[in-house]
Amino acid sequence: MGLSETLANYFDVHKHGSSVGTEIIAGITTFLTMSYIVVVNPAIMTGIPDAKPGVIISGFGPGQVQSMLAVVTILAAAIATLVMAFYANRPFAQAPGLGLNAFFAFTVIGALGVPWQTALAAVFVEGLIFIALTAVGAREAIIKIFPQPVKMAVGTGIGLFLTIIGLQAMGIVVNDPATLLTLGNLASNPVAIVSIVGLFVTFALYAAGIPGSIIIGIALTTVVGWALTTFGVVSAEAGLVAGSSAATYDITPLAGAFISGFGGIEAFSFALIVFTFFFVDFFDTAGTLVGVGQAANFLDDDGNLPDIDKPLMADAVGTTAGAMLGTSTVTTYIESATGVEEGGRTGLTALTVAVLFVASLALIPLATAVPLYASHIALVVIGVVMLQNVIDIEWDNITHTIPAGMTILIMPFTYSIAYGIAAGIVSYPLVKVAAGEYEDISAGQWALSAAFFVYFVVRTSGMLQAQV
């Protein structure tokens, strides 16, 4: 029995209507769209110019610390994604989460003045709580009581979220002081022009049903971009995830540092930090799994992802292992949707991503050579495709329209899957009560709505800052 047949049998590839080749292409696609995290996570974790500092280790320069964190990022992503592959058999990839790493570095360490070792201890505790809750089925039970319109809206909301992230990286959408967002100056921005051409070429390849169309689009855009860089048309730094190779492989200053973080902590403030990590990670992961699961046609008739406890456990193990190694919360990546749209349906896709992460330990440039504007073409393509999920919503029922609409719109406007889900969950019982449909609201849905209310009171009242 050859390797291809062994992999196909182990992951039940044919049972899921896929093939080994399709799964590998899907894994490569997912890796290319999320490989930026290898350099971006260390940059955020150590702080950026004119911002509060993040992880600083005595005796090591910023470049050395970033190098250590690059290795830790890769290891944490590989461990979590391998668990996803072999235990959950799902095509979802994991890595330290964006947003959560910024909260870790700039809020917990920078603004609140919490030692980075203590912040890692908080992430470690969060991971253990997740493992315990997942083991007893509590996380799965909570996700199952999400209101139906919220579940059906998550995929579309994530699609818009992916699209705006991609368009910004490509220079097509830029910041504006008057309108927040506007169209970039395309005529004077060669990166935007290359991105637009690459995007429409990729759209055409995708519409034609060409296998690996997203990878082809990314590769062609990368080649053109680097050619223009060679001739000086595009700056070498323009749109790139610029960074240095991970020359420092000794991660001992980071690995196990969370243990010392338990010394001298103030219980209430530590609990609030753990709660914030827990809350955002829980609903980010839940939203991603449901949204990407919808794109893969994994959801059942009630909008639930069968055996969701397994990918949730992979997320929990990844977070715990990441904290032990020395990085912030590990979560499931929305970029997994790119691999799913390429046909990935099993853990073989996740295994491919994990192998590529491990390979990037030796070949860091492999993960960073693709310009950000090229890799993020995939996010726009998949974001647009995911909009078709909107047809699953009962738009003629106002008690579904409002929570679904809030879920979809709040995600991209706040850059948060969790906040989008929060808006949908809080609005659902309110509109149901207003419509006199009390019987449609379960006790669990009331409890979730109340939990979100308490969270935002704590988050916005300054209680967290006051306790540190």
Mean pLDDT per 10-residue interval, the chain, length 468 residues: 88 94 94 82 68 74 80 95 97 89 79 88 96 93 88 85 85 90 88 92 89 82 86 63 51 94 84 82 87 89 89 96 96 91 95 94 63 80 83 92 95 83 92 94 91 76 52
Closest C-alpha among 76, 96, 90 to residue 34: 96
Of the CA atoms within 13 Å of residue 313, those in its CB half-sphere come to 17
Coil, strand or helix at 423: helix
Answer whether 91's CB lies under 8 Å from 352's CB. no
- Helical H runs in 35-177? 37-46, 62-83, 100-102, 116-135, 138-144, 148-169
pLDDT of residue 245: 43
Write out the two tokens for 415. Answer: 């850059």
Provide the strand spans (E) within 257-385.
330-332
Query: Residue 266 contacts by C-beta under 8 Å, 6 or more apart in sequence?
Result: 467, 468
The secondary element (H helix, E strand) that includes residue 96 is strand 94-96
pLDDT of residue 468: 43
In whole angstroms, what is the distance from residue 365 CA to residue 380 CA? 24
Query: Based on the number of CB atoms within 10 Å of its own CB, is 312 exposed (0-12), middle (13-18) or buried (19 or more)?
Result: buried
Angstrom distances, CA of residue 198 to CA of 166, 167, 208, 216: 12, 12, 15, 10
The dihedral region occupied by 50, where left means phi > 0, alpha psi between -120 and 50, and beta the remainder, is left
pLDDT of residue 113: 83
The secondary element (H helix, E strand) that includes residue 94 is strand 94-96
In whole angstroms, what is the distance from residue 436 CA to residue 441 CA? 11
| Number of domains within the chain | 1
Closest C-alpha among 157, 446, 112, 144 to residue 277: 112
Sign of CA dihedral 355, 357, 361, 363: positive
pLDDT of residue 240: 47
SS3 content of the chain, % helix, strand, coil (to 5): 70, 5, 30
pLDDT of residue 57: 85
In whole angstroms, what is the distance from residue 432 CA to residue 441 CA? 7
Closest C-alpha among 295, 354, 340, 338 to residue 94: 354
Q: Does residue 30 belong to any structural domain of this protein?
A: yes
Task: Return the axis-axis angle of helices 377-386 and 20-34, rounded to nearest 10°.
Answer: 110
Write out the two tokens for 24. Answer: 């590998």
pLDDT of residue 206: 85
Give the structural domain span for 356: 1-459
Answer whether 171's CB lies under 8 Å from 184's CB. yes
pLDDT of residue 466: 46
Answer whether 81's CB lies under 8 Å from 26's CB. no
Answer whether 45's CB lies under 8 Å from 55's CB. yes
Query: Residue 159 contacts by C-beta under 8 Å, 6 or more apart in sequence?
Result: 291, 337, 382, 383, 384, 385, 386, 387, 389
Query: Based on the number of CB atoms within 10 Å of its own CB, is 188 exposed (0-12), middle (13-18) or buried (19 or more)?
Result: exposed
Residue 110 is classified by DSSP as I
Q: Does residue 465 belong to any structural domain of this protein?
A: no
Q: Does residue 172 belong to any structural domain of this protein?
A: yes
State pTM to two decimals: 0.77
- Residue reference for tokens 């051409």: 197
Angstrom distances, CA of residue 233 to CA of 80, 164, 228: 40, 26, 5
Answer whether 445's CB lies under 8 Å from 428's CB. yes
Write out the two tokens for 321. Answer: 């292992």
Query: Residue 204 contacts by C-beta under 8 Å, 6 or more apart in sequence?
Result: none
Q: Does residue 169 belong to any structural domain of this protein?
A: yes
Q: Does residue 219 belong to any structural domain of this protein?
A: yes
Answer whether 147's CB lies under 8 Å from 425's CB. yes
In whole angstroms, what is the distance from residue 225 CA to residue 195 CA? 9
